[in-house]
């Protein structure tokens, strides 16, 4: 297979959903189709449940599972599929945002009964802002749920999407009979048997065919005809260009648990979903078909064994071919590195590979060289964009609880922040450290890991912060900016990149500051240039 064919056949995507909508179940069924696993239940659920908060061994165990399921790759109909895992738990939303910088498209899973839930809203918003192509899967049709049209409305209104149904359910819950596949013009009937085998589908290019009554009964046949007619009038026809631009989202219905509608989803997906996309760097747009290798780190995972403190850095290859033992430029450090054992991911295993292509993910063993966002190239100085930090939700001072272990504490904090567990801010005035997180759970994870991996102890102290705002001075030399720095000095801090951050205590403070210092801009993300 040629270099270009290898790249064209790759489909790298993430599945996003609110916890419990069925992401794990769907992932597992997709893997079954790829022949990557033999039986259901092989994919571990890597959800970090709320109940795990006080159970650290549980957190550790789950961290282990999440390494294994970080990337799931398999071949289906000659396409190389890479599924990137995205934690659904809201305390790990940052992790998911970063993973979304490495996908070329997304499947959104929605529970037919619960409809659009908060975590789905947040994640879809990020995808929408980046114009990532999205496909929607409405799950659990075997259960009583919302009316399909109401649900489509809800998806449009709450998620700000433009949808077009590619399949449509016949009945629901107890009366669920199956799905009409608008895309392939086929009828798929649901039966108990379909749980264990791939269902037969019946070709129905014309739904006015009286055979339809025989298949699903007169009442359901008439309803389906009316509904399909309505769909044609209300929703735009599917257009791949619009989908790829992020302007139109095709919707599929099914039941992941019953393996129903999943094959149809996968078949449509491999046909319409994009191969590896070009990516913006600060310097230029990099095309996946360029022969020179470029890539960036979007995730770092610490080793589970505290005695071996090496880490696994996950690199998305943006262009070219990544080769084992080839020298690559680590752009931020300006030095060349070689990797003798790059890991590729296959189903739930990882193995050492000689070559990986644009679109693939490689896992590189790292002893502290990498941090999230780092770029690797064959020599060109490039910095990929799009891994911003967002304002954390929680803020606490961190204190050293063991004066003999100050060095270990700072090293530990430094490395945990490079992994993206949380954000560290240093108050300008007194050098105190503030840890900002998305969820309260991370504070316990940090404390636990500092102790077990670095031998350091910390305590926290509350700090009243509403939002961290990244400061941009449109005129850094003027008196106004100097006054801002003077007046607000108690609340100014540097993030790990050395960017200036204003730790505001309320929305009111933000508004007052903006009106008092018009040349100062406040941003809720670190990447605003
Ligand atoms: P995740 O949190 O999004 O990964 O959700 P899971 O895949 O773990 O599913 C959550 C629960 O919903 C589990 O108990 C699944 O068995 C169940 N589930 C998933 N898909 C379906 C479905 O199609 N029908 C029904 N009835 N239950 C489902």
Pick from 171, 172, 167, 173: nearest CA to 187: 167
What pLDDT digit, counting tens, does each position of 194-233 carry? 554 555 667 777 778 888 888 888 888 899 999 999 999 9
Lowest mean pLDDT of 40-44, 111-115, 293-297, 400-404, name the range: 40-44
What is the distance in A from the centroid of ligand 1 to the CA of 20? 6
Is the domain 279-377 a CATH 3.40.50.300 member? Answer: yes
Q: Is the pLDDT of residue 367 over 60?
A: yes
pLDDT of the residue at 255: 93
Question: Would the CB of 140 count as within 6 Å of ligand 1?
Answer: yes
Enumerate the known binding-site residues for GTP: 17-24, 85-89, 139-142
Contacts of 352 (CB under 8 A, 6+ apart): 324, 341, 342, 343, 344
pLDDT of the residue at 86: 83
On average, the pLDDT of the chain sits at: 87
Arithmetic mean of pLDDT, 6-15: 96
pLDDT of the residue at 436: 95
Taking a C-beta distance cutoff of 8 angstroms, is the pair 136, 243 a contact? no
pLDDT of the residue at 336: 96
Cα(170)–Cα(227) distance, integer angstroms:
10
pLDDT of the residue at 129: 87
Token duo for residue 307: 């005695």
Question: Would the CB of 88 count as within 6 Å of ligand 1?
Answer: yes
If pLDDT is split at 50, 70 and 90, which confidence band does 304 have? low
What is the distance in A from the centroid of ligand 1 to the CA of 102? 26
If pLDDT is split at 50, 70 and 90, which confidence band does 281 have? very high
* Phi, psi angles (nearest 5°) of residue 3: -55, -45
Name 494's bridge partners: 426, 500
Lowest mean pLDDT of 234-243, 368-377, 440-449, 495-504, name the range: 440-449
Enumerate the known binding-site residues: 17-24, 85-89, 139-142
Cα(401)–Cα(189) distance, integer angstroms:
63
Q: What is the pTM of this model?
A: 0.85
Q: How many angstroms separate the Cα of 324 from the Cα of each of 328, 355, 357, 371?
A: 10, 6, 12, 21
Question: Would the CB of 87 count as within 6 Å of ligand 1?
Answer: no
User: Can you name the CATH fold of 3-169+236-272?
Assistant: Rossmann fold (3.40.50)
If pLDDT is split at 50, 70 and 90, which confidence band does 58 have? low
What is the distance in A from the centroid of ligand 1 to the CA of 112? 11
Place of tokens 């571990």: 44
Q: Is the pLDDT of residue 320 over 90?
A: yes
pLDDT of the residue at 305: 60
If pLDDT is split at 50, 70 and 90, which confidence band does 293 have? very high
What is the distance in A from the centroid of ligand 1 to the CA of 25? 6
Question: Would the CB of 47 count as within 6 Å of ligand 1?
Answer: yes
Cα(149)–Cα(147) distance, integer angstroms:
6
Share of the chain above pLDDT 90, in %: 59
Arithmetic mean of pLDDT, 126-132: 90
Q: Which CATH superfamily is domain 394-523 in?
A: Peptide chain release factor 3, domain III (3.30.70.3280)
Lowest mean pLDDT of 1-15, 31-45, 480-494, name the range: 31-45
Token duo for residue 346: 């296959």
What pLDDT digit, counting tens, does each position of 74-89 carry? 899 999 999 998 876 7
Report the relative pairing of strands 105-111 and 71-76 from DSSP bridges.
unpaired
> Is there a shared CATH topology between the 3-169+236-272 domain and the 279-377 domain?
yes
What ipTM does the predicted assembly reach? 0.99
Testing ligand 1's pocket by substitution, the residue of 14, 18, 19, 20 carrying the most ligand atoms inside 8 A of its CB is: 20
User: Residue 462 class from Cβ within 10 Å (0-12 exposed, 13-18 middle, 19+ buried)?
Assistant: exposed
What pLDDT digit, counting tens, does each position of 22-45 carry? 998 899 888 888 776 555 554 555
**Would you list the domain boundaries of the chain?**
3-169+236-272, 279-377, 394-523
Arithmetic mean of pLDDT, 343-369: 85
* Phi, psi angles (nearest 5°) of residue 337: -130, 150
Specify the 3-state DSSP secondary structure of 489.
helix
pLDDT of the residue at 407: 94
Cα(291)–Cα(136) distance, integer angstroms:
34
Place of tokens 């106004």: 480
pLDDT of the residue at 81: 94
pLDDT of the residue at 438: 83
Pick from 79, 95, 144, 90: nearest CA to 118: 90
C-beta neighbour count of 25 within 10 angstroms: 22
Cα(366)–Cα(302) distance, integer angstroms:
9
Q: What is the DSSP string of 299-329?
A: EEEE-SSTTS--EEEEEEEEESEEETT-EEE
């Amino acid at each position: 297979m040629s270099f270009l064919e290898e790249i064209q056949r790759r489909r790298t995507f993430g599945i996003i959903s609110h916890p419990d909508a069925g992401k794990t179940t769907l992932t597992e069924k997709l893997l079954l189709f790829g022949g990557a696993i033999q039986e259901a239940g092989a994919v571990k659920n890597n959800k970090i449940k709320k109940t795990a908060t006080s159970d650290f061994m549980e957190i550790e165990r789950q961290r282990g599972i999440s390494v294994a399921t970080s990337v799931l790759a398999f071949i289906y109909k000659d396409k190389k599929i890479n599924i990137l895992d995205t934690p659904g738990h809201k305390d790990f939303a940052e992790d998911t945002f970063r993973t979304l910088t490495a996908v070329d498209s997304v499947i959104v899973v929605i529970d037919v009964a619960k409809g659009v839930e908060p975590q789905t809203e947040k994640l879809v918003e990020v995808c929408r802002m980046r114009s990532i192509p999205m496909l929607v899967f409405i799950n659990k049709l075997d259960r009583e749920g919302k009316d399909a049209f109401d649900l489509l409305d809800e998806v449009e209104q709450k998620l700000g999407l433009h949808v077009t149904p590619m399949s449509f359910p016949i009945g629901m819950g107890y009366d669920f009979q199956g799905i009409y596949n608008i895309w392939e013009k086929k009828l798929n009937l649901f039966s108990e048997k379909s749980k264990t085998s791939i269902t037969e589908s019946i070709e129905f290019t014309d739904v006015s065919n009286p055979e339809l009554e025989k298949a699903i009964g007169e009442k359901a046949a008439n309803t389906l005809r009316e509904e399909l007619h309505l769909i044609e009038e209300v929703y735009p026809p599917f257009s791949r260009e619009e989908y790829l631009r992020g302007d139109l989202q095709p919707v599929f219905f099914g039941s992941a648990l019953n393996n129903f509608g999943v094959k149809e989803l996968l078949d449509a997906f491999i046909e319409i979903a994009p191969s590896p996309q070009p990516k913006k760097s600060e310097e230029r747009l990099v095309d996946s078909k360029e022969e020179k290798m470029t890539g960036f780190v979007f995730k770092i995972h610490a080793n589970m064994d505290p005695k071996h403190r090496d880490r696994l850095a996950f690199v998305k290859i943006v262009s070219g071919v990544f080769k084992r033992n080839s020298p690559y430029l680590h752009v931020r450090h300006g030095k060349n590195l070689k990797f003798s054992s790059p890991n590729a991911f296959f189903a739930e295993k990882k193995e050492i590979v000689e070559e990986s292509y644009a679109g693939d993910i490689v896992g590189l063993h790292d002893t502290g060289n990498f941090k999230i966002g780092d770029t690797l190239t064959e020599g060109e100085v490039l910095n990929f964009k799009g891994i911003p930090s967002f304002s954390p939700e929680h803020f606490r001072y961190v204190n050293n609880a063991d004066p003999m272990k100050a060095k270990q504490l700072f090293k530990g904090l430094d490395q945990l922040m490079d992994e993206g567990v949380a954000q560290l801010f240093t108050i300008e005035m007194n050098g105190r450290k503030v840890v900002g997180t998305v969820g309260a759970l991370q504070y316990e994870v940090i404390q636990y890991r500092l102790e077990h991996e670095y031998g350091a102890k910390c305590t926290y102290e509350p700090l009243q912060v509403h939002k961290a705002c990244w400061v941009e001075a449109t005129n850094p030399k003027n008196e106004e900016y100097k006054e801002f720095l003077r007046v607000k000095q108690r609340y100014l801090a540097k993030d790990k990149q050395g960017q200036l951050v204003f730790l505001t205590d309320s929305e009111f403070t933000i508004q007052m500051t903006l009106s008092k210092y018009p040349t100062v801009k406040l941003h809720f993300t670190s990447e605003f240039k």
